[in-house]
A and B are shown apart, each in its own frame.
Chain A
Amino acid sequence: MKPLKLLGLFIIPMGLIIAAVPQNKTNPYKLTAEEVLNEANTRNQFVTADVVADMIIKKDPTLRLIDVRSQEEFEKFSLPGAINIPSASLLSEEYADILNQDVKMNVLYSNGTLAANEAWMITRQLGYTNNYVLEGGLNYWFDAILNPQKPASTNPDEEFAKYDFRKSAGQALGGGGLTVQAASDQAGTSAKPVVKAAAKKKKAAGGC
């Protein structure tokens, strides 16, 4: 058979198949279930409310708060500067660049910890780094930061320090005009997680 006919016989069906079949847009898993479970059990993904409050007050540019609740709940109340990525749309392409990056520290939060932690697990399965979970969620935030309980007089000094910090933080974050300077030293004992400049997969250079 003429080579041209032979060629056509092969590539036309292939072209038809590739035109007909929808593109494969699935995100490949990077971590196994076991790996994600192990990571989840170390609880390193949690960030305390104190640390986040401190970052907000200091206007730390690496912080990015992500509200994983529905849009309605987000519009009713959200943390200052937070963006809304509802859990249901977590895998949508438009948010991929926000969740998969190495410049900002994404702190996911929900009312409690469940939803945010679930979202975090999913991002980990996809191999994304620099996503964290706000420990205690908004419920704890309200209790601890915005309405801190004064510790009993017998409590250790750190508790008082935390309380002072939270009181001023709460006022600053609750909309009060109080300036907060002393807060910085007492910003909780937990170290602030560092944004991992992950070896983000870059495209190879090409051309020429």
Chain B
Amino acid sequence: MSMSTSKEIKQTKYLNPYLGGVLLGLVLLSANFIAGRGLGASGAIKSVVATTIKAVDKDAVKTMPFMAEYAESHGSNPMKSWLVFEMLGVLVGGFISGALAGRLKLKVEHSPKITSRRRLIFALAGGVLFGFGSQLGRGCTSGAALSGMAVLSLGGFITMMAIFGTAFALAYFFRKNWI
């Protein structure tokens, strides 16, 4: 699985990326064919957030414009949403794949040049920014960029360019974390 001959660089056995891409495209295609919509991720978390806010404050729909806007596009039970079921599936699917490939391991993955702690701090900060940005951008890389591109959405395309463009532009400043 992991160690091959000493000559080769240690390889973890992943799918060929092009094959992975085709498979991903087929999964996305089936989502569009079956549900009439693409994949997504941040929306599921938004559902959980809305549910918890509603649970704590029953009148949130009236006091918080965010909740009102959310309630407009979603039914009475925000957890009964397509994305929530999809993301539960993602957890299962990722787990199965990791299990089959022997990649299940509780660890903090980080460049040897930095500490675990530093990695986790940046992971948290990155998550906060990404979560916030996904709301403004009406989607994340799965929903807006990937699914958006597949249906030729202009908004999705723009968001994708902004994400990758910014990441490239800022890469230099965070290089110590990765290389």
Contact = CB atoms under 8 A, between A and B. Distances in A.
Contacts of B74: 205
Nearest to A10: B22
Interface in B1-47: 16, 18-19, 22, 35-38, 40-44, 46
B41 A208 contact: yes
Interface in A5-28: 6-7
Given A206-B38, A207-B139, A208-B83, A3 B43 contact: no
Nearest to B36: A204
Interface residues of A, number: 10
B37 A204 contact: yes
A206 B16 contact: no
A3 B16 contact: yes
Contacts of B35: 204
Contacts of B139: 207-208
A88 interface: no
B42 A3 contact: no
Contact of A205 (B19, B42, B73): B73
A204 B37 CA distance: 6
A206 B18 contact: no
Given A3-B18, A208-B40, A208-B42, 18 more contacts: A4-B18, A7-B18, A7-B22, A204-B35, A204-B36, A204-B37, A205-B37, A205-B73, A205-B74, A206-B37, A206-B38, A206-B40, A207-B143, A208-B44, A208-B46, A208-B83, A208-B134, A208-B138
Contacts of A203: 36
Interface string A175-191: 00000000000000000
Specify the main secondary structure of chain B where it touches its partner: helix
B160 interface: no
Contacts of B43: 207-208
Contact count band on B: 20 to 34
Nearest to B144: A207
Nearest to A11: B22
A42 B141 CA distance: 54
Contacts of B82: 204-205
Interface in A111-154: none
Nearest to A208: B43
Top 3 nearest A-B pairs (CB, nearest first) are A208-B43, A206-B37, A204-B36
Contacts of A204: 35-37, 82
Given A3-B16, A3-B19, A4-B18, A208 B36 contact: no
